[in-house]
Amino acid sequence: MNDPDRSPTFADWMRHIQQRTETALAALLPEPSITPERLHAAMRYAVLGGGKRVRPLLAHAAGELAGAAPGNVDRAACAVELIHAYSLVHDDMPCMDDDVLRRGKPTVHVEYDEATALLVGDALQALAFQVLAETPICDAPAAQLAMLARLAAAAGSRGMAGGQAIDLAAVGRQLGRAELELMHIHKTGALIRAAVLLGAHCGHGLGADELERLDHYAKVVGLLFQVVDDILDAEADTATLGKTAGKDAEQNKPTYVSLLGLTDARRLAEEMLVDARATLAPFGARAARLGALADYIVHRAF
């Protein structure tokens, strides 16, 4: 099969999107030979050669549903992934989670230094908006402005950065389910939701009702991602026979598993998957990849 877009398997399609995202990101990031060389090398170190590219996969699957040109979706997908990469660099810093490994290699502040890591995050965030603004990627300039506004809101104090602030304020405090959900809707969910909606807005094939339906799917999947992340962390702890408590437990951070227990957290993930799939049902086969992505997000855990 020469055209991976027509591949019969979801796994082939995933590999294809991951590869084209890697190529697009490599082209958009400044070369390390350009001044300031060290900053540019660190930006490429933070972004390239790792990560599941879940957000670009969601953007492409939603773009496909909306009849978008894949070349246009690449830009939206890369913009979201650059914001995600910046958030990981800053999240790993000593003033936040203080992690030394990310994607199997030393974190940016360990490989370079703290000041460089701070600047890498700043520069990646700026690059994300440049990538989204500098080329027309949808039918109307007003629609592209709306995409910029949506990404800014998803990244800012009422989205991801706000979620991180809620998370920091929650350390050592017992959170209820509603508070935990609010934190994750902001911290992880907002950017995942933006990935789906930006992908869809690169096309013009969806009506208002369909966009609303897609938005519901995006919200469910954004939260589902975090529930599964908590399950994966708890399972990793169990696999090491309780010898390590895991970062969240160590820092006394609330998780779905600490709140509900592993069995009920798994049940919740399965229920959310049913909700996501039922939301897509009226789209029929056109939403097959979005459905398969929801499955992938859940079943990488079990």
Quick one: which of 188, 193, 184 has its CA closest to 151?
Answer: 193
Report whether 98 contacts 44 (CB < 8 A): no
* Minimum distance, C-beta of residue 82 to ligand GRG, in the bound complex (Å): 12
Structure tokens at 154: 């998803």
Which of 31-39, 89-97, 234-242, 262-270 is the region at the interface with ligand GRG (rule: CB under 6 A)? 89-97
Distance CA 183, CA 7 (A): 38
Interface residue with ligand GRG among 186, 187, 201, 289 (CB under 6 A) is 187
Question: Does residue 87 touch ligand GRG according to CB under 6 A?
Answer: yes
Taking the complex as a whole, the smallest distance from the CB of residue 54 to ligand GRG amounts, in Å, to: 5
Among 75, 90, 109, 266, binds ligand GRG (CB under 6 A): 90
Q: Does 164 bind ligand GRG (CB under 6 A)?
A: yes
Q: How far is CA 68 from CA 63, 76, 139, 140, 203, in A?
A: 5, 11, 10, 13, 4
N-to-C CA span, the chain: 31
Read off the tokens for 12: 């082939």
Q: Which residues ranging from 252 to 291 are in contact with ligand GRG (CB under 6 A)? A: none
SS3 140: coil
Q: Give the shortest CB-85-to-ligand GRG separation in angstroms.
A: 7
Site for ligand GRG in 39-58 (CB under 6 A): 51-52, 54
Tokens in use for 275?
């909700």
| Dihedrals phi, psi of 204, to nearest 5 degrees | -140, 20
Binding mask 223-242 for ligand GRG (x = CB under 6 A): ---x--x-------------
| Shortest spacing between CB 62 and ligand GRG, in angstroms | 17
Residue 103 contacts ligand GRG per CB under 6 A: yes
Of 63, 91, 123, 265, the residue at the interface with ligand GRG (CB under 6 A) is 91
CA pair distance 255, 175, nearest whole angstrom: 9
Sign of the Cα torsion 149, 151, 155, 159 reads: positive
Is 161 a binder of ligand GRG (CB under 6 A)?
yes
Write out the residues near ligand GRG by the rule CB under 6 A.
51-52, 54, 87-88, 90-91, 96, 103, 160-161, 164, 187-188, 226, 229
